[in-house]
Amino acid sequence: MQLRFLAGAVGAIGLLAATCAAAAPNGRSAPPVTTVAASPFSNFFAMFSAVPRTTVEFPGNHKPGTIIISTQQRRLYLVLGNGQALRYGIGVGRDGFTWSGRTTITDKREWPDWTPPEQMLKRRPDLPHHMAGGPDNPLGARAMYLGDTMYRIHGSNEPQTIGTAASSGCIRLTNDDVIDLYNRVKVGTTVIVQQ
């Protein structure tokens, strides 16, 4: 009976409960896990997610509030201070679309519209030229725009891509995680992307 209910619940929420297939970074064991809830479904999703949001040890001298992105680990760290950070699983750019550097968040938007850049439309003429924000939009529930680039930290309507290299250079989080991050950071936040 309980198993049937659980299977029904997973089916009912469809893609939102999809799981990722990411390995632990560098094969090391993970530090103690503390899940931070951002919505009523956070704990439910964490049961199925291969990349749960957790508080981890994070030594270094980065200012609290700084975002450090490790494209190799496929993890985003929000520095909390006192040697800790909040770690999120992310999707990153596929081969040929990776980048690194230091920038800032220059804009934040809820349920953002999406206009694919011309280079993307040349590669993928099947894409729409513009898409209004909403659950079907590939930018997901929130977007944080990085510098004067076309890159963003954004949500995704494809949670199964978290932990993979599948984007055109943007950093993807689950919608639940991107809402949590969006609520914690502001315009002007420093973002450091490392390979």
Active site residue 130: no
Choice among 20, 62, 130, 170 that is catalytic: 170
Classify residue 31 by its DSSP letter.
Answer: P
The 8-class DSSP code of residue 156 comes to: -
Express the helix, strand and coil content of the chain in percent, nearest 5 each.
25, 30, 50
Q: What is the DSSP string of 75-88?
A: EEEEEEETTEEEEE
Residue from 20, 129, 130, 154 carrying the catalytic annotation = 154
20 is catalytic: no
Which residues touch 146 (CB under 8 Å, ≥6 apart)?
103, 104, 105, 106, 152, 153, 191
User: What residues act catalytically?
Assistant: 154, 170
